[in-house]
């Protein structure tokens, strides 16, 4: 059951933005935290690459492993983390993550400040279109959210850790529209001190 209280976010309030080898489930948006942070859950399929090496210009990320094993490269360190461990990924530090095992994994991702959750909304929108994803749109989206991607790291990581490479599943455009409507609705009923005026976190 969805909650009408700004002090409670229920399971039914979650929004699935991406499905596939790496999923993205929005649990808390910047519109609900005055832009301080956002919270997502990332399901990660067996042997899936969660992301190539990339660098955030604007956000710090903290990944709590909920289930399974997660491998990560943070700066020059390669790490494997199990349930309860926290991966610390400061802004400006290149990192990548993957599932090195044959079992599913799940991460709780805390992003501070908020705003980057909208990247997944934009990605879902691009993937909802016909045909192959437009490389120019993907590059523009990454630049808009301060994301520097090292795509050349993909084959290296796949070979080193036995990973399978696949794109996220295409999401119906209606799902993206539903999230945008929900995001605007949150701002409509939230008190003024719950809102954010940050351009990067606006839908």
Is there a domain that residue 196 lies in?
A: no
Domains contained in the chain, number? 1
- Supply angle C-alpha 15, 95, 172, rounded to 5: 25
Is there a domain that residue 189 lies in?
A: no
Is there a domain that residue 76 lies in?
A: yes
What are the distances in angstroms from CA 137 to CA 14, 21, 131?
A: 26, 21, 13
Pair 202, 14: CB distance under 8 Å: no
Task: For 157-198, write each residue's pLDDT tens digit.
Answer: 999 999 998 766 554 445 444 544 444 444 433 333 223 333
pLDDT for res 173: 46
Is the pLDDT higher at 165 or at 100? 100
Confidence of residue 105 (pLDDT cuts 50, 70, 90): very high
Is residue 199 scored above 60 in pLDDT?
no
pLDDT for res 182: 47
Block residue for tokens 């290296």: 156
Pair 40, 124: CB distance under 8 Å: no
Domain limits at 50? 15-182
In DSSP terms, 96 is beta-bridged to: 73
48 contacts: CB under 8 Å, gap ≥ 6: 21, 22, 98, 99, 163, 164, 166
Provide the CATH number for the domain around residue 42: 2.60.120.10
Task: For 52-84, write each residue's pLDDT tens digit.
Answer: 999 999 999 999 999 999 999 999 999 999 999
Is there a domain that residue 68 lies in?
A: yes
Sign of the alpha-carbon torsion through 155, 158, 159, 163: negative
Is the pLDDT higher at 184 or at 153? 153
Is there a domain that residue 199 lies in?
A: no
Report residue 128: phi and psi, to 5°. -80, -10
Is there a domain that residue 192 lies in?
A: no
Pair 130, 170: CB distance under 8 Å: no
């Amino acid at each position: 059951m969805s909650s009408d209280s700004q002090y409670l976010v229920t399971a039914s309030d979650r929004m699935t933005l991406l499905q596939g080898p790496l999923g993205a489930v929005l649990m808390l948006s910047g519109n609900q935290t005055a832009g301080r942070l956002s919270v997502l859950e990332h399901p990660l399929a067996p042997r899936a690459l969660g992301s190539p090496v990339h660098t955030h210009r604007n956000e710090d990320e903290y990944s709590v492993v909920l289930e399974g094993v997660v491998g990560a490269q943070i700066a020059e360190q390669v790490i494997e983390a199990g349930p309860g461990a926290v991966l610390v990924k400061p802004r400006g530090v290149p990192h990548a993550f993957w599932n090195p095992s044959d079992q599913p994994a799940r991460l709780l991702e805390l992003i501070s400040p908020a705003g980057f959750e909208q990247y997944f909304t934009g990605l879902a929108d691009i993937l909802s279109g016909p045909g192959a994803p437009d490389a120019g749109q993907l590059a523009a989206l990454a630049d808009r959210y301060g994301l520097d991607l090292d795509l050349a790291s993909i084959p290296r990581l796949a070979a080193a850790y036995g990973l399978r490479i696949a794109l996220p599943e295409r999401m119906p455009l209606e799902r993206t529209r539903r999230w945008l409507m929900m995001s605007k609705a949150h701002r409509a009923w939230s008190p003024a001190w719950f809102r954010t005026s940050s351009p990067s976190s606006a839908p």
